[in-house]
Structures are given as C-alpha cells and as structure tokens.
C-alpha cells in the first residue's frame, strides 16, 4: 500500500467533507455546522476536550491526548466553568464555583459527585462546597440540605454520635446526647426540682430528698419509733458528706388552720434537727424551716395525698 503524506490526506479529508456537506439537505447542513466547532483545524491536539466531529453523521466526539484530529475546534463552555459543554455533566454551574475536570471519587453512573463540570464536594456528603455550611463532614454521615450532620431530636448532638436519640426537646444532655442527672439521684436534670442532692440520699419523683415514712403522732411533733430507720439513713448520708449543710423543711397536709399547720411543721422540723444532733451531726450544719400546708406536692384530699403532703424535706444548701 502506498503511503499518503499528510498534505495529501488533508486534501482528501476536505474533499470527503465537501461531498458529505453537499449531499445534505439545507437544514441538515446547518445542523452539521452547528454541532461542529466555529473553527476547523487540521493538527495534532494535545488537550483533552477538543471537539472533533464526523462529517457523515455530524456527531461530536472528543479528541484525546496524542491523537490526530482533522475536524477540530475550540468548543463552547456556556457556563464558563472551564469544562466544555460536550463533556460538562452539570450545565449552568454558578459563576466562580469550583468544579471537577474529570470523573473522580465515584463511578460516573453511581452519583453526580465527581462528574466533569459538576461543583466540587470535598467531604463527599452530597452537598457541594459552595452550599456546604459544615465542611469536612465524614462521608458516611447523613446531612441536611446545608451539609450539616442531622440532629433529629434537637439536642445539639449529631445523630451519628447520639447515644440517646429522641431526647425530650430542651433537655440538658451530655456529650453522648443523653439527658443529664448531675447529682446522680436517678431523676434527670430537666425534671429535678431539687438539684445537688448528695449521693445516697433517698429522693421522690421530683428529685427532692424526702424522709419517707417519717411519721409523727397526730397533731404532735413526737417522732414515732418506726420512723427511726428513715432518719438514720439520712444521718448516714450527712456523715458521708461532711461538707454538706442542709435546711430541714417541715410540711403538713391541708387539715386544720394555716396558723396551726405552720407552727406544727416548724416543731416537726426542729424534732428532726434534734434527732440528728443527738446522732452526731454538728448543729451548725442544720437549719430549720416550717411551711405548713402552703407547698403541697399532691393536690388531692384523700388519705394517700395527705400522707404525701405530710413530709420533711432535707434541702442541701450552697
């Protein structure tokens, strides 16, 4: 076979092009020229993305490095992102947004992330950098539309590290997203009406240190013998926490006048103070107060509610 030099081949190619174009209908001829480049060259092109088109089909392809291109042009980049339209997989990228130049990170058929002409998503969370309010999110963390990790229960601990999901809104939580119980009394902070209860103190559902089953003779400040175990447990807690000072608060039920109940609650608080001092607790660690029937914790008038309201509360003082 005889070799054809470049000049002769070029003339032959142009001849083929002329024959192809002359065979096209007017509208087809316009289409062929439209899909081609505004500038036709014959040369060796070293840059990927250089448009070349076939004179018979009018279809565009890309010139690749090291291949000879006979029908080549500079191409069109409509959104000005540096990636030619015929290989730009994200048209109309906002001006100035950094984009990928070639497929990166993931397969082209799996996700738009990493496709040529698509905005760069450095942390691979599905939100491009120019829209991402939380850069450097781990790739496997679910994010919202701003690229920030999800916090479904709103406790400011992201779902991927939240050990206690669905925490009640507004509850104070630790670094693991679990509600706090600072004093360790079994009542969470957001429901604890008496914070800073010492360890070992027996508390009610409100987290208050209440002397359970502390009974007095009716209308009297005399402590009944079966109430001693509850008092002894409280004394042990105070002995284990020598720096704690407490206020002994007396409360009554609603039976009787305000004045009578106020005096009775004060006498009962003093009776508890005397018992503790007799068991070795320093008097300067104890203060007393009586509230009568002014602070009920049960609103009913049945025997159970009245028993709950007849109580002695030990309140730690700062």
What does the pLDDT look like over 35-87, one tens digit per residue? 333 344 444 444 455 556 555 555 556 655 555 555 555 567 788 887 877 77
Residue 274: strand, helix, or coil: helix
Based on C-alpha coordinates, what's the Rg of the chain? 42
Q: Which helix (H) or strand (E) holds 101?
A: none
> Given this model, what pLDDT does residue 11 score?
40
At residue 315, the pLDDT reads: 93
Is 90 exceeded by the pLDDT of residue 176?
Answer: no
The answer to whether the beta carbons of residues 138 and 156 sit under 8 Å apart is no
Write out pLDDT tens, residues 195-240.
Answer: 889 988 989 888 999 887 777 767 788 888 888 998 999 999 999 9
Q: CA-to-CA distance for 295 and 303, rounded, in angstroms?
A: 17
243 has pLDDT over 50: yes
- Tens digits of residue pLDDT in 107-156: 444 445 578 888 998 888 889 999 999 988 887 788 888 989 888 888 88
Q: Is the pLDDT of residue 171 over 90?
A: no
- The tally of CA atoms less than 13 A away on the side-chain side of residue 142 is 8
pLDDT for position 114: 72
Q: Where are the beta strands (DSSP E) in the chain?
A: 41-45, 50-53, 60-63, 67-73, 245-250, 286-290, 312-317
Task: Sketch out the chain's domains with CATH numbers.
Answer: 6-73 (no CATH), 189-317 (3.30.1330.60)
């Amino acid at each position: 076979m005889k070799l054809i030099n470049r000049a002769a081949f070029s003339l032959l190619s142009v001849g083929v092009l002329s024959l192809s174009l002359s065979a096209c209908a007017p509208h087809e001829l316009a289409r062929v020229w439209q899909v081609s480049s505004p500038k036709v060259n014959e040369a060796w092109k070293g840059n990927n993305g250089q448009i070349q088109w076939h004179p018979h089909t009018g279809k565009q392809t890309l010139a690749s490095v090291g291949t000879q291109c006979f029908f080549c042009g500079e191409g069109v980049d409509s959104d000005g992102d540096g990636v030619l339209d015929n290989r730009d997989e994200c048209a109309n990228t906002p001006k100035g947004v950094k984009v990928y130049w070639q497929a990166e990170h993931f397969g082209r058929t799996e996700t738009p992330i990493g496709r040529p002409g698509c905005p760069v998503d450095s942390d691979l969370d599905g939100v491009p950098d120019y829209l991402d309010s939380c850069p450097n999110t781990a790739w496997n963390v679910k994010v919202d539309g701003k690229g920030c990790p999800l916090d479904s229960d709103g406790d400011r601990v992201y779902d991927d590290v939240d050990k206690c999901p669905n925490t009640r809104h507004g509850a104070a939580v630790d670094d693991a997203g679990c509600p706090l119980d600072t004093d360790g009394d079994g009542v969470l902070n957001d429901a604890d009406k008496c914070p800073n209860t010492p360890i070992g103190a027996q508390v009610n559902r409100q987290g208050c240190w209440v002397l359970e089953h502390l009974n007095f003779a009716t209308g009297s400040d005399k402590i009944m013998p079966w109430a001693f175990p509850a008092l002894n447990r409280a004394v042990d807690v105070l002995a284990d926490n020598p720096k704690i000072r407490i206020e002994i608060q007396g409360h009554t039920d609603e039976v009787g006048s305000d004045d009578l109940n106020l005096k009775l609650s004060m006498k009962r608080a003093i009776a508890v103070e005397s018992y503790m001092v007799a068991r070795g607790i320093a008097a300067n660690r104890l203060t007393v107060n009586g509230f009568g029937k002014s602070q009920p914790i049960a609103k009913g008038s049945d025997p159970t509610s009245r028993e709950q309201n007849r109580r002695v509360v030990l309140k730690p003082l700062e």
